Each structure stands twice: as C-alpha cells, then as structure tokens.
Chain A
Amino acid sequence: MAKLILTFNKQVIKEYPFTKDSISMGRQEDNTIVIDNLAVSGYHAKIDKLGGEYILTDLQSTNGTFVNDQKVVSHKLSHGDNIVIGKHVILFVATEKEKIEGEGKDKKLPLDKTMLLDTAKQRELLAKQKIAPSTVKIPEKVGVISFIDDSGLGEIELSKKLTKIGKAETSEIKLSGLLMGATAATISRRPSGYAISFAGGMTKLKVNGAVVKDSVPLNDFDTIELGSYKFQFYQKEVKSA
C-alpha cells in the first residue's frame, strides 16, 4: 500500500497509509491530513487513486501546491515525490509493486483509458470550496440586448439558446417593418459565447457598423443595427438560485 509521510522541518510528524480512494489535505478538521498552519488553505489539495495511479490535484489553494519545487495544478505522483504545502513537506512512498509497475509499463498507463472521476467526492469537495474565501465557481452570465433607438423596446434578456429576431409571430424578439425578414437575424449561445447571424430578408444586419452576411461573435457593448432598429449587446451575471 502506498503511503504519505507528513514532515515539518525535516521531522516526521505522521504517516498516512493510502487506505481510501481519495485523501484530502488542508487546514479544516475533516481533511484526511489536517495541517494546522495559516499558509495552508481550508481544503488545499487532494490525491485520488485512479486505476493504480495517484493523482494530486491542487484545490485552488491560496498559496499553491508544489511537487519537487514545481508548482502544480494536477500531477501524477511517482515514488519519492515531495509535495510541499506551505512549510510542510509530504513524501509520497509507493509500494514495491507499484514502483516496478510504474517503471515497467510507463507507456501503457491505465490513464490512457478514459475513466470517470468519483463525482460524489468531487462535488463534496467543490461544495466545501464555496465556503472558502476564494470562490472557484465562474459566475453564470446571460446576454441582454438593450435598444438604443426610439422603438421603446428597452432591454430584453436572451433567455433562449437560440433567439430569433424578425417579423414572424414565432420570433423571440418581434420587430416590425415592411422589409424586415420573417427571421432577420438570430443570436445563439455557443460553447465559446454568443454569436449573431444574418438569417434572411431585405433588411441589412450590421455589427459595429459593418454589414454581417453570415455570423460574427458578439462582445460586450457591440452595437447591432437591423434596419432602423439599433441595440447594444452585453452580458450580465445571473444570480444563481
């Protein structure tokens, strides 16, 4: 069985055999390895045992996690690695069997295979993270278009993944005008962010003054013109429930 040896000033404090699939390290008392030092975050780092590999992950700690003097976010541990957290050093010791396996079949790591992280454990840790002062969660944002013409339409939140703009009754944003297309333009939310596309009709679509014939990504405060309509795009944070 692999083990971790916690040391401080070259003095061994305690040994921790790797009996579970996951070991957490931090200042809070419910960690597997509790390190009571102000340089250490509440939930500082964790090590997961995955298919015979030991993976160290820094949990967005304030002062970082180091392995053999290199700052790491995630790291596959090898026998003899020194994990430095604050002023504490944790030595990783693999079993004889794991040492041999690690050297022998370096090319055929089981990690090459796709596998699933134990999500329950991860969620638990992430949930705890929220309490920590440095929040990990990226705030959810939603796009808004704000009319700056005299149409009096005000602000409209883009609550759909695909917003159709045009004359058709089924449009999410209904605009009038003799030459307005049934669907004149669409705004879609994609993995990389929002984008606007010209969809049809005789009314030109312009973004920041340039005519758009296909699609362009939207950035905050881009000005969009559709015939006589003029509006600005921006994103605002959604207050999560």
Chain B
Amino acid sequence: MLIKSSGMTDVGLQREGNEDSYSVEDSYGLYMVADGMGGHLAGEVASRVAVEIINKSFSKWKEIQAPPDEIFGFPDESLSPEGNYILGSIRLANRVIYEMASEYEQYNGMGTTIVSLLVGPGRIVAANVGDSRMYLVRDNRIERMSKDHTIVAEHVEMGVMTEEEAARSPLRHILTRNLGSSENVDAEVFEIEPSNEDLFILCSDGLTDLAAEEEILKIALKEADPQRLTRKLIDLALERGAHDNTTVVTVLLDQVEKKRRTSFGRLGGLAADALTGVNRIKRKFGL
C-alpha cells in the first residue's frame, strides 16, 4: 500500500495564537488533528501534549505488540489490537492533560479535541473526541468517519434538530466531551477496510465551520494531490474570514492490495458461479 499525506495549520485571521496541533507519521501510518482550548498558552499545550502522547504510546505498544490487557484502561472487545492501542493512547493522553490541568494553575481548564486516523494493512482505525472531524471520500461520495461530541450533535441524534439547524446554532461550539476535563474519557472508535484511492480528510472546526461537506467533497474530487488539496482547504477557510485556527491533514491511499481478478481469476469466477449454480440446483431438488 502507498500512502500520500500532507498536513498544514494556519492561525487564521482573528486569533492571536494557534491552539491547533497536528501530526503526520507515515512510518507507522498515524495521522492526527487536535484543537486545544484554555487561556494563555494552555490550549496550545493541551493539543501538543495529546498528539505527542498518542504518538509515543501507540508506536511503543505497536512495536512490542502489547497484549490488550496491558494497555491503559480496559480493552474494548469490539476492537482489533490496533484499535485498542489507539483507544488506550487517547485515554492516556486524557489522563495526562487532566493531571496537568489540576496540578498547575496556569493549565487550569485546559483541554483539547482529538481526531486520529490509523492506516494499517487491511484495517483503518478512526477515532475522535470532541468536534474535530474526519471525512472519507470514496466512490465520489463523502462520509463522516467521526462523531461530534457537541450539544447540537446530540440534539440531531435525538431527532429534535436538523443538521442545518445544528450548523447555525449558537450552541454548536459547546462540547460535551474533550481530553483534559475529566479523569476518564470515552473515545469514538471505528474500524473499516481500506480501499484503493480512499481519501481521508482530518480537520479542526476552523474548516468545518466555514465549509459544508459538499463543498469539501467538490474540492477533493478536483484535486488529487494531498498537498495541494490541503492548501486549497486552508485557503477556503482564509477566504471566508478564518475566525478560528484552521488545520487540515489529508491522507490518500494507493495500491491497496486487493486480489484483483486476473484472467485466471475470471476463470475461477466462472467456476465459482458454476458451483453456486450447482448448489442452487441441489437445494432445489433437495439433494
């Protein structure tokens, strides 16, 4: 499998500091965007600590193939070992930020969102806490691979608010979960099978506040190069006033190994169909 990736962050036009952090690690296929919050430099610290801790703990666990019960917190049975490494790393980052925030006065109230993408052979792990998002562009369609932890997202899920209302609501920036505000946190983790030409877009709300999903899709379909696509998405936020820090990471998969049908395969396919046919006939006649 070939991976092309790119990451970029911009302070925007109205903020003084950049509280977003991102990370692009092609060597072990881990990509992240974090959007920090908290006064002075605390937001920056929180997002940077989250990204660093997740990188460190994931790569270590992955390297030594840590058994699931040795990671941080209880493993989730529905996840693969890699999925559990990510989940454990996010929990660990949360705990560290939480401890820092309660220990040091200058870090009181700091927190961060996190969205992470792990690309492994045969498995993609998508995880998030907060409102930084991940999109998957596949087959000319765009699909969200993250779940917002905001009041409005909960309202949408309960069916009392539409997506459009949510995007305009004054409450749209109020999170129900982040890293750093409580001792334990639940991350949203999804696993899917990779496919050729899968394009993943990770971003902070600096982009999603100013660009609709369809617009992001339109741009993504026109620009195949991750580096240029990242630039274009950042530029779009800047053109629209960029009231917040904006961060984008794009990851494009190529040559995903899927046994393609060779001429032998086609023959095999015929044989398979014949077998299926035979089975069907057998069943029909109760053989």
A positions within 8 Å CB-CB of B: 50, 53, 55, 57, 60, 73-76, 109, 111-117, 119, 122, 136, 138, 149-150, 159-162, 164, 177-179, 181, 183, 186, 188-192, 195, 197-204, 214-215, 227-228
Which of A50, A114, A199 is close to B193, meaning CB atoms less than 8 Å apart?
A: A199
Task: Fill in one digit per residue for B137-181: 1 if any A CB lies within 8 Å of its CB, else 0.
Answer: 011000111110001100101101100010001110111111001
A190 to B130, CA, bound (A): 17
Say yes or no: A162 contacts B123, CB within 8 Å.
yes
User: A114-B131, A117-B151, A162-B192 in contact; A191/B145 too (CB < 8 A)?
Assistant: yes
B35 on interface, CB distance cutoff 8 Å:
yes
Q: Is the CB of A161 within 8 A of B189?
A: yes
Secondary structure call for the A interface: loop
Whether A227 pairs with B272 at a CB distance below 8 angstroms is: yes
B237 to chain A, nearest CB (A): 14
Specify which chain A residues have a CB less than 8 angstroms from the CB of B271 in the assembled complex.
178-179, 202
Pick the residue among B146, B171, B181, B279 that contacts A228 (CB under 8 A): B279
- In the assembled complex, the CB of B204 is this many whole angstroms from the nearest CB of chain A, namely 9
**Residue total for B at the interface (Cβ-Cβ under 8 A):** 63
Which of A55, A74, A114, A117 counts the most B-chain CB atoms under 10 A from its CB? Answer: A114
The reply to whether A191 and B147 form a contact with Cβ atoms under 8 Å apart is yes
B residues apposed to A, CB below 8 Å: 35, 37, 77-80, 83, 111, 113, 122-123, 130-131, 138-139, 143-147, 151-152, 155, 157-158, 160-161, 165, 169-171, 173-178, 181-182, 188-193, 195, 205, 243-244, 258-259, 261, 265, 268-269, 271-273, 275-276, 279-280, 283
Shortest CB–CB separation between residue A215 and chain B, in angstroms? 7
When C-beta atoms are compared, the residue in chain A nearest to B77 turns out to be A159
